[in-house]
Amino acid sequence: MDSILVTGGGPLNGQIPIAGAKNACLTLMPATLLSDEPLTLTNAPRLSDIATMTMLLQSLGAEVSSLQGGQVLAMSSHDLNNLTADYDIVRKMRASILVLGPMLARAGQAVVSLPGGCAIGARPVDLHLKALEALGAEMELKDGYVHAKAPGGLKGGVVDFPIVSVGATENVLMAATLAKGTTVINNAAREPEIVDLAHCLQKMGAQIEGEGTSTLTVQGVDRLHGATHPVVTDRIELGTYMLAPVICGGEVELLGGRLDLVGAFVEKLEQCGVDVTETKSGLLVKRRGDRVQAVDVVTEPFPGFPTDLQAQMMALLCTAEGISVLEEKIFENRFMHAPELIRMGANIDVHGGTATVTGVERLKGAPVMATDLRASVSLILAGLAAEGETRVSRVYHLDRGYERVVSKLEAVGAKIERISGQ
């Protein structure tokens, strides 16, 4: 198993290109199952989660070709010859559940294993199933699999989500495009990845209104056709690398960065003493003083502060001046990075969904372990600011969501290397 060795030190200067969004790509890819014509995605990120989704789609009979070094995904689902998403693939990634809605809509039936993914809480799929039931699907749970049927096809209906769910909104949105009649989705997620999915589906001929708001209205159509669509910028990768010059000093331009993708996050950065400026090619980030000031953070669905940037923000606040309180409202078990940061000298007190961070002047390098995707990158950020060496092990989590992390950080002057087999 590989590890990443980071030596803390000087400021970071230069440019970092931001890739297409993992989470957008993982929902755009299953959209290919809705049509027998080709769907091509450009600006795709090169990540192990994308490889997993490729394998899953191929196992269902879709053709997926990775072109231009993985940045273009050419997909075609002319024949769906298998309607079972197998446990062996699904267990690797929770987003696999996103094939359920499209398969059901196109073929009238689907069998999908219950998913695995990051260990950040229970993360059930009840909302996905209930939403599809509102469109007339019949569900049965048997031997760890969801058996779904829609005899006579899906029918438009009203979906009232009790809480905002990104994945469940995506699943039912895709399914509704081919359902007979009108579907109204209330309390829908408003994440940029949902807007991106809606735009792609619209290019395929879907009739969707209200993307980016809490109410989505979908008029079902008989069939969808082919399309080519660029994947939206990864706002989580963007936010993560924006923190690098804030933690280490220096000035970094994030190429492709957009303020509208990271509004609530930028607001917090500005409050704690960071300048973020729009440039022709993206966003320029620079810390104002020697140390940032403490700030309180509550994670919320978009447009609130994203849970996927909570661990990275905590890494920053470990060395802020003062006491910060971070409240995690989306996932109940998402502070697994805290004990690792404490090993590096951070002062963090976790009680339930609240972490109180008392800033220290400097962290100290230590061997630490990545526990999930976002936690792993928070430890790299902490290592960049720490005195001495930090070795982050279990970096396979990182490969799921960050492409070329070592070369991107090296290019702005970070001392970081990947060590094979340790």
Q: Is the dihedral of CA 311, 316, 318, 323 positive or negative?
A: negative
Window contacting ligand UD1 (CB under 6 A); options: 73-81, 158-166, 343-351, 358-366: 158-166
Shortest approach of ligand UD1 to residue 233 CB, angstroms? 15
C-beta of 123 vs 286, nearer to ligand UD1: 123
318 classed as catalytic:
no
- Among the listed residues 211, 308, 328, 403, the single contact to ligand UD1 using CB under 6 A: 308
The reply to whether 371 sits near ligand UD1 by the rule CB under 6 A is: no
C-beta of 3 vs 27, nearer to ligand UD1: 27
C-beta of 168 vs 368, nearer to ligand UD1: 168
Shortest approach of ligand UD1 to residue 19 CB, angstroms? 15
**Which residue number places its CB atom closest to ligand UD1?**
167
The reply to whether 307 sits near ligand UD1 by the rule CB under 6 A is: yes
Window contacting ligand UD1 (CB under 6 A); options: 62-70, 159-167, 198-206, 208-216: 159-167
**Contact criterion met (CB below 8 Å) for 3 and 419:** yes
Q: Of 377, 348, 342, 391, nearest to 363 (Cα)?
A: 342
- Among the listed residues 154, 168, 224, 254, the single contact to ligand UD1 using CB under 6 A: 168
Phi, psi of 151 (to 5 degrees): -60, 130
Shortest approach of ligand UD1 to residue 206 CB, angstroms? 19
**Contact criterion met (CB below 8 Å) for 229 and 41:** yes
DSSP 247: H
The reply to whether 128 sits near ligand UD1 by the rule CB under 6 A is: yes
Phi, psi of 139 (to 5 degrees): -120, 140
Binding characters for ligand UD1, 86-115, by CB under 6 A (x = yes): --------xx--------------------
CA 314 to centroid of chain Cα atoms? 18
C-beta of 167 vs 345, nearer to ligand UD1: 167
The reply to whether 145 sits near ligand UD1 by the rule CB under 6 A is: no
The reply to whether 29 sits near ligand UD1 by the rule CB under 6 A is: no
Q: Where are the alpha helices (DSSP H) in 204-281?
A: 235-248, 263-271
C-beta of 307 vs 378, nearer to ligand UD1: 307
The reply to whether 10 sits near ligand UD1 by the rule CB under 6 A is: no
**E strands along 301-397, which residues?**
323-327, 347-351, 354-358, 367-369, 389-393
C-beta of 49 vs 340, nearer to ligand UD1: 49
What are the residues facing 350 on neighbouring strands?
355
**Contact criterion met (CB below 8 Å) for 208 and 255:** no
Q: What is the DSSP string of 55-99?
A: HHHHHTT-EEEEEGGGTEEEEE-S-----EE-HHHHTT-GGGGGG
Indicate the pairing of strand 297-298 with strand 323-327.
Answer: parallel
**Contact criterion met (CB below 8 Å) for 415 and 12:** no
C-beta of 258 vs 329, nearer to ligand UD1: 329
Calpha distance 93→193 (Å, rounded)? 18
Max distance between CA atoms of the chain, in angstroms, equals 65
Shortest approach of ligand UD1 to residue 300 CB, angstroms? 9
The reply to whether 26 sits near ligand UD1 by the rule CB under 6 A is: yes
Shortest approach of ligand UD1 to residue 332 CB, angstroms? 7
Interface positions, 320-349, toward ligand UD1 (CB under 6 A): 330-331
Q: Of 74, 25, 5, 84, nearest to 403 (Cα)?
A: 25
Shortest approach of ligand UD1 to residue 98 CB, angstroms? 8
Shortest approach of ligand UD1 to residue 244 CB, angstroms? 20
- Among the listed residues 77, 165, 177, 390, the single contact to ligand UD1 using CB under 6 A: 165
Shortest approach of ligand UD1 to residue 331 CB, angstroms? 5
Calpha distance 267→284 (Å, rounded)? 15
Catalytic: which of 25, 118, 200, 318?
118
DSSP 387: B
Binding characters for ligand UD1, 248-277, by CB under 6 A (x = yes): ------------------------------
Phi-psi region of 413 (alpha: psi -120 to 50; beta: other; left: phi over 0): left
Catalytic residues: 118
- Interface residues toward ligand UD1, by CB under 6 A: 23, 26, 94-95, 121, 123-128, 163, 165-168, 307-308, 330-331
